Structures are given as C-alpha cells and as structure tokens.
Amino acid sequence: MHTVANFDRIGEENAFAVLARAGALAAKGMDVINLGIGQPDFSTPENIVEAAVKAQRDGQHGYTPATGIAPLREAVSADLHRRFNVETSPDNVLIVPGGKVTMFAAILMFGEPGADILYPDPGFPIYRSMIEFTGARPIPIPIREENGFAFNADESLALITPQTRLIILNSPANPCGGVTPKAEVDKLVAGLSNHPQVAILSDEIYDQMLYDGKQHVSLLTYPQIRDRLILLNGWSKTYAMTGWRLGYSIWPNALYDKARKLAVNCWSCVNAPAQFAAVEALTGPQDAVGEMLIEFDARRKLVVKLLNDLPGVSCITPTGAFYAFPNIKDTGWKAKELAGSMLEETGVATIGGPDFGILGEGYIRLSYANSQENIARAIERMRGFLGKE
Ligand code: PLP
C-alpha cells in the first residue's frame, strides 16, 4: 500500500498516550495520580446534562444544519457580546465537534508546501503536527520562561516573511499557563497591519481561566483584523465538557463558506443533543464556572508552592489555564525521561515539555485538574523520586 506522504508527517498529542499508559498501570493495581491530561476533573454541571437528556427525550435525533442549530449560534453571539462587548453575527459562527476541529480546518485552509505558519513553542502539539501534515513550514514563536511564558509581539512580528500565511496565537496558554498582556496584543495587531496577507487563528479556549484579577483580551475586540481572524473556542474546558466534543469557531465572511463546506464533507453536523446542552451552558446559570475557578486557583497556588520546594525544580506562577510548567533543568533529568520514569515508578502522570515543542526541554507540564489532596500526594512522591536519584 502506498499512502500519501502527509501521513508520514502527521504527529500526535502525547497526553493521550500518557493517559492510556496511566490507565494501564491503574488497571494493574498501581495507585496512579493523573496530572497529565488537560481536562477538568469536575463533572459537567447538572443543568447542562439535563438539557441534553431533555433534547434526547424531545426527539432531537436527526441531523442539524451543518453550521449548528440557530439557537446555539445565536447564544454564542450573545455570549461574546456579553463578555467582550463585540458584535458577531450568528452567520459567522460555526459549531464544530471540539476545539481541535477549528485548528484542523484553519491549518488545512492555509497550509501547503511553500507556505509558512507561525505557532507558539512550547504550544499545543496539534498546531505543529497539522502544519507539517499540510506540507507548510512550521515557524515556532518562542514562548520564554524569562518573559513569564507570555507571548512577545516584536519577536513574533520579526518572524513574518512574504511566505507567512497564518499566525497562531493562544492565550491563556497551554502548556505554560501564560497570558498575553494587552500591550503585547495591541503591538501585534498594529504590526500585523503591515502584513495584510497573514490570517490569524486565535485559540481562546481557556478564555475564562484567568487568575489574579486578569481580564481576557479577545482578538475579537480588534475590528481592524476581524476580516482575517479565525477564533477558536468551545465548551470543553469552561464547562468541563471535554468528552462531549463540542466547540465553535468564528470565521470571517471570506472564509465561512469554505469552513462550512469542510463541515459538510467531514462531520455533517455536531451531535444534536450536545448542541442543546451547549445552549443551556451559555444561557443558564454560570455559578459552576465561578466555583470551578475558585478551586483551580487554590490548586494553582498549592502546586506552585509545593513544586518550588522540590530539589532542582523552580516554577513561576501561571496566571491562566490549569497548567504549571516547572523548570526541572537542575534535577539533571531530561524532561521526557523524568516524566516517563516518574509515571512508571511512582504512578504520577505528567507530560514532558518536549511534547509541546523544541523549547519545552527542561520543563514538565502538570495539569492541576486534580484534587488538592492528590496534588500534594503527587508532589510528595516526586520529592521521594528526585531525592532517590
Ligand atoms: N486548544 C488548546 C490550547 C487546548 O489545550 C485544547 C485541549 O487541550 C484544545 C484547543 C482542544 O480542545 P477540545 O478538547 O475542545 O478539542
């Protein structure tokens, strides 16, 4: 058999391999503490679950429009207006089966041999994987610890060439928990006016996961780039709905129909009951989101304090998402080896920084989507492990 070369270049997300390995170790009786996978450990709020059950009972069993049901596209517009005071027509909203699908579609739309695509490194691994899949050249935008893991506009703008088709931004960010300050976003948007050929994919899936009083700066609030901005967002993180496979994108007029056709060719529409649940998520009470954030904040402070107490480890305080990205360079370990050995020997699942890019060496990612008790137990095991070597 001869498959096309693109499939020799496609990568993956190692968090799923770690999840599988952690599951296998647990099945053998090991007491595994999972700080690997990036998903809230909370249940989807009850009112949202009930809305899906009701939709099923009401007979919502068929295809929906490929773009998503009208009440959901309207709810997304209203939610964006409520939170960011921006106008977004429901006609620009596409409901998709998970946040990932927007990056898949956007990168397919702009990537081909001869094109450059800029993406954050360390960053969500699927960006690079998909860029390579299309044959485009992946150009990493360095996300540096000395810069608080925040994105740097000048450094990013300097990487743009006439071949650049797309720049991918992510704030609050996975895996480092960094948040791009408004001044940097302003500078980036101003600089992009010199590069009108560059489209922008803004991955804002963690837009409600901010701490220390930080406010999210949505790229949607910059009218001068709306005609080339693709927004990625969804329900997975904010409403603890990773397994529902639900997301949405905002596409500019010039691209919307291309994205709609991709939907028709690939997934037809998103699971109908899930779409009704998503309406309830956006229009119903938001208390569960606030409660989840209070708990994440407490865990964030705990994880940083405990990590900084470990020999050879230092961890800056992340201000977004639910990840800590400690520097482990002084432990003498290579990051992936450390993560792998810790899982096998102590049952603590983390992800090696290199799984998020070249600049991830020397770091590991801990998802603090686990109880404070388990976080404390996990870091105690790490202490024993690091002390032993
Ligand atoms: N974007 C980022 C930065 C993420 O971390 C994730 C999930 O971990 C996604 C997108 C994908 O989200 P979903 O599970 O909705 O596909």
**Cβ of 203 below 6 Å from ligand 1:** yes
The structure tokens listed for 341 are: 């050995």
Ligand 1 atom with least separation from CA of 103: 10
Residue 345's CATH number: 3.90.1150.10
* pLDDT at residue 20, rounded to an integer: 92
* pLDDT at residue 14, rounded to an integer: 87
Domain count, the chain: 2
Tell me, yes or no, whether 255 and 345 share the same domain.
no
pTM beyond 0.75: the answer is: yes
Domain membership flag for residue 172 = yes
Alpha-carbon distance 218 to 213, whole Å? 16
Ligand 1 atom with least separation from CA of 124: 3
Tell me, yes or no, whether 269 and 296 share the same domain.
no
Tell me, yes or no, whether 213 and 356 share the same domain.
no
Tell me, yes or no, whether 276 and 295 share the same domain.
no
Tell me, yes or no, whether 271 and 292 share the same domain.
no
Which tens digits make up the pLDDT trace of 235-290? 999 999 999 999 999 999 999 999 999 999 999 999 999 999 999 999 999 999 99
All residues at 6 or more sequence positions from 30 whose CB lies less than 8 Å from its CB, including other chains:
347
Instruction: Pick the last residue of a domain from 254, 283, 312.
Output: 283
Domain membership flag for residue 53 = no
Domain membership flag for residue 55 = no
Residue 160's CATH number: 3.40.640.10
Tell me, yes or no, whether 278 and 312 share the same domain.
no
Tell me, yes or no, whether 221 and 268 share the same domain.
yes
Which tens digits make up the pLDDT trace of 142-153? 999 999 999 999
Domain membership flag for residue 181 = yes
* pLDDT at residue 388, rounded to an integer: 76
Asked whether the beta carbons of 324 and 315 are under 8 A apart, the reply is yes
Alpha-carbon distance 332 to 321, whole Å? 28
Tell me, yes or no, whether 334 and 255 share the same domain.
no
Q: Best mutation site among 101, 205, 246, 323 for ligand 1, i.e. most ligand atoms within 8 A of its Cβ?
A: 205
Instruction: Pick the last residue of a domain from 283, 308, 338.
Output: 283
Tell me, yes or no, whether 230 and 378 share the same domain.
no
Beta bridge pairs of residue 70: none
Give the closest residue to 136 by CA, choosing from 157, 168, 114, 166: 114
Tell me, yes or no, whether 34 and 105 share the same domain.
no
All residues at 6 or more sequence positions from 165 whose CB lies less than 8 Å from its CB, including other chains:
110, 111, 115, 116, 117, 136, 197, 198, 199
Beta bridge pairs of residue 348: 33
* The CA-based dihedral angle spanning residues 33, 37, 38, 40, taken in that order and rounded to the nearest 10 degrees: -50
Domain range for 366 is 6-44+287-386
Nearest CA to ligand 1 atom 13: 99
Domain membership flag for residue 238 = yes
Instruction: Pick the last residue of a domain from 283, 316, 333.
Output: 283
Residues of the chain with pLDDT under 70: 389
Q: Best mutation site among 206, 236, 351, 368 for ligand 1, i.e. most ligand atoms within 8 A of its Cβ?
A: 236
Q: What angle do CA 164, 166, 170 make, to 5 degrees?
A: 130
Tell me, yes or no, whether 212 and 298 share the same domain.
no
Tell me, yes or no, whether 314 and 251 share the same domain.
no
Domain membership flag for residue 51 = no
* pLDDT at residue 252, rounded to an integer: 98
Distance from residue 311's CA to the centre of ligand 1 (Å): 32
Give the closest residue to 346 by CA, choosing from 4, 125, 16, 30: 30
Alpha-carbon distance 11 to 133, whole Å? 8
Ligand 1 atom with least separation from CA of 245: 15
